[in-house]
């Protein structure tokens, strides 16, 4: 009886009968499960089908290792428009959309200053590591936190965060507001990684050492295919009408003598549009882990790595090019090299990686058109003239139009008021006018975006990308696969599957092996990483943790 009463008392008080035999918590978010290092990898302009299209050409240590040992979310999509680099990187790490984090494009029309602004531009800071203005950057226009910020807060700023990319926005926005540093590449005659006074007053010694080394210069060499070009049967022909080329080279065909071409292609900038740009990022990421001693204690660090050269190459050569295939086969080797380093430096079971993209891309519209798929290019000059004529005929002036950019129309609201016009009625009239133009697929007013709750379709994607203070008065959607772009190379920005469907791979500590076709969204990544780390979610996060990826 006494034993029964004692056991009952223990249940009531919550004390274990034997502290030696009490189960040890090993759940996601506990100290025992926190990885020493989280590595976020964003591959700029990576379509999901690059995983499957080139699968049999990949080695075992890169993409295939992530898929075999980790979790593959095969139906992962962006859930807003526009699908562009700045918004993409911000959304991956913040767990929310432009509606809340405010990065509505790479650059956009600022309604307060009446000028275009850049998503990472900041004239209040100065360049570090260069005398040019490439370093005048910070995350100040992003209005929410990232999961890296939340990890910094959780660890009382002891967990480090470093952002690395060829592009400034690819390193700055993921690293967040509290990052120890973000580094990006400046080309031309320098070929260095730089930063800004938002983070530091001078580059650390390990960065100076890297910049003084011959690492970047060593890649100024011919770009030939990794394997026999004729074996790249997963891609189109090497010579075709749908690819751009470097200045100084008549055809977009292998090989490319980068040293010879560099003088006509802004010096070291030419490396951005080759697979070697990705190699440079891997080199620098490895140097950062060593220099900052990331992942060397039990306080989690975050390394945000963005491979940007894939985007430059896709824009120039198109998604069906042999250049793209060679780039991804080489990137696969870069990932293998990086993972082997992490295995040795941090410990095979001590780090966690996710890999995704900031957007995908459309097949070259001219190519699609050649195989009888509806596609083409927008006649912006004619549309601009027709719209100007409409405004003058309807309102007696075109002064009510302030700006047209990023498929958005911004009105001069003071002028609208001065003319005694009703803003909503003007917006609606413009919608009906725009819908009469060729290749305008859909159009919506800011009033509708602010007052109607769209739950699915293009309308919902537009709404999640709509920021009341920053977006325009009328939002336009062009016909599928119709682009405002040159007739060579690929682009992106829409809410169609070719732009929204991107990879999502989780791999490493705390992640189980598996795959799913269940739909996931890009905004789920940051809450998932926060759940893994046991931290607060980013303050604007709308996504949900993908608990099925956890062990």
Structure tokens at 194: 């730089």
Q: How many CA atoms lie within 13 A of 309 on its CB side?
A: 25
Strand, coil or helix: what is 378? coil
Determine the distance from the C-alpha atom of residue 219 to the mean position of all C-alpha atoms in its chain, rounded to a whole number.
25
Structure tokens at 63: 């993409």
- Vertex 429: Cα angle to 424 and 430 (nearest 5): 100
CA distance linking residue 527 with residue 544, whole number of Å: 6
Task: Please answer whether residues 310 and 328 qualify as being in contact, where contact means their C-beta atoms are separated by less than 8 angstroms.
Answer: yes
Residues β-bridged to residue 352: 38, 508
CA distance linking residue 312 with residue 541, whole number of Å: 30
Q: Catalytic residue, from 85, 144, 500, 520: name it.
A: 85
CA distances from 92 to 97, 262, 366, 479 (A): 9, 34, 31, 27
327 tagged catalytic: no
Task: Please answer whether residues 137 and 168 qualify as being in contact, where contact means their C-beta atoms are separated by less than 8 angstroms.
Answer: yes
Task: Please answer whether residues 52 and 465 qualify as being in contact, where contact means their C-beta atoms are separated by less than 8 angstroms.
Answer: no
Beta strands across the sheet bearing 408-411? 401-405, 408-411, 474-478, 440-445
Closest CA to 105 of 131, 133, 79, 85: 85
Strand 37-43 with 301-307, pairing: parallel
* Phi, psi (degrees; rounded to nearest 5) at 516: -150, 150
- Vertex 204: Cα angle to 153 and 131 (nearest 5): 110
Task: Please answer whether residues 42 and 306 qualify as being in contact, where contact means their C-beta atoms are separated by less than 8 angstroms.
Answer: yes
Give the catalytic positions in this structure.
Answer: 85
């Amino acid at each position: 009886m006494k034993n029964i009463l004692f056991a009952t008392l223990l249940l009531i008080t919550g004390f274990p009968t034997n502290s030696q035999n009490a189960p040890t918590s090993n759940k996601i978010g506990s100290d025992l499960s926190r990885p020493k290092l989280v590595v976020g990898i964003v591959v700029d302009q990576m379509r999901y089908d690059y995983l499957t299209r080139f699968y049999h050409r990949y080695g075992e240590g890169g993409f295939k290792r992530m898929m075999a040992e980790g979790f593959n979310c095969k139906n992962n999509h962006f859930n807003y428009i526009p699908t562009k680099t700045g918004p993409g990187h911000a959304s991956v790490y913040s767990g929310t959309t432009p509606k809340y984090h405010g990065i509505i494009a790479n650059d956009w029309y600022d309604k307060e200053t009446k000028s275009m602004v850049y998503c990472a531009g900041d004239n209040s800071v100065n360049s570090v590591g260069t005398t040019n203005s490439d370093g005048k950057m910070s995350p100040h226009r992003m209005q929410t936190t990232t999961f890296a910020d939340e990890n910094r807060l959780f660890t009382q700023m002891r967990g480090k965060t470093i952002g690395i990319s060829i592009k400034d926005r690819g390193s700055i926005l993921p690293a967040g507001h509290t990052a120890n540093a973000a580094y990006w590449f400046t080309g031309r005659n320098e070929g260095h990684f730089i930063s800004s006074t938002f983070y530091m007053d001078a580059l650390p010694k390990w960065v100076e050492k890297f910049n003084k080394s011959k690492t970047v210069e060593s890649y100024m060499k011919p770009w030939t295919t990794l394997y026999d070009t004729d074996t790249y049967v997963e891609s189109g022909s090497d010579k075709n009408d749908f690819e751009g080329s470097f200045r100084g080279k008549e055809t977009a065909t292998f090989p490319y003598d980068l040293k010879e071409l560099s003088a006509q292609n802004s010096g070291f900038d030419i490396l951005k549009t080759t697979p070697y740009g990705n190699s440079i990022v891997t080199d620098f990421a490895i140097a950062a882990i060593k220099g900052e001693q990331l992942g060397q204690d039990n306080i989690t660090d975050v390394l945000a790595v963005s491979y940007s050269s894939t985007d430059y190459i896709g824009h120039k050569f198109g998604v069906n090019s042999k250049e793209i295939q060679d780039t991804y086969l080489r990137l696969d080797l870069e990932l293998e090299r990086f993972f082997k380093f992490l295995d040795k430096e941090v410990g095979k079971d001590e780090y966690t990686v996710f890999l995704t993209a900031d957007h995908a891309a459309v097949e070259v519209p001219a190519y699609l058109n050649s195989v009888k798929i509806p596609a083409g290019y927008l006649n912006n000059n004619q549309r601009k003239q027709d719209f100007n004529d409409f405004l003058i005929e309807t309102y007696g002036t075109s002064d009510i139009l302030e700006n047209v950019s990023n498929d958005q129309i911004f009105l001069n609201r003071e002028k609208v008021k001065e003319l005694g016009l009703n803003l909503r009625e003007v917006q609606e009239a413009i919608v009906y006018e725009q819908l009469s133009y060729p290749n305008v697929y859909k159009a919506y007013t800011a009033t509708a975006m602010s007052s109607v709750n769209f739950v699915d379709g293009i309308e919902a994607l537009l709404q999640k990308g709509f920021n009341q203070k920053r977006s325009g008065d009328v939002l336009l959607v062009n016909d599928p696969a119709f682009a405002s772009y040159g007739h060579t190379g690929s682009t992106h920005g829409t809410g169609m599957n070719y732009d929204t469907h991107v990879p999502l791979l989780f791999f490493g500590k705390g992640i189980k092996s598996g795959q799913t076709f269940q739909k996931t969204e890009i905004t789920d990544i940051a809450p998932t990483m926060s759940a893994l780390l046991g931290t607060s979610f980013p303050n604007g996060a709308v996504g949900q943790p993908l608990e099925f990826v956890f062990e």
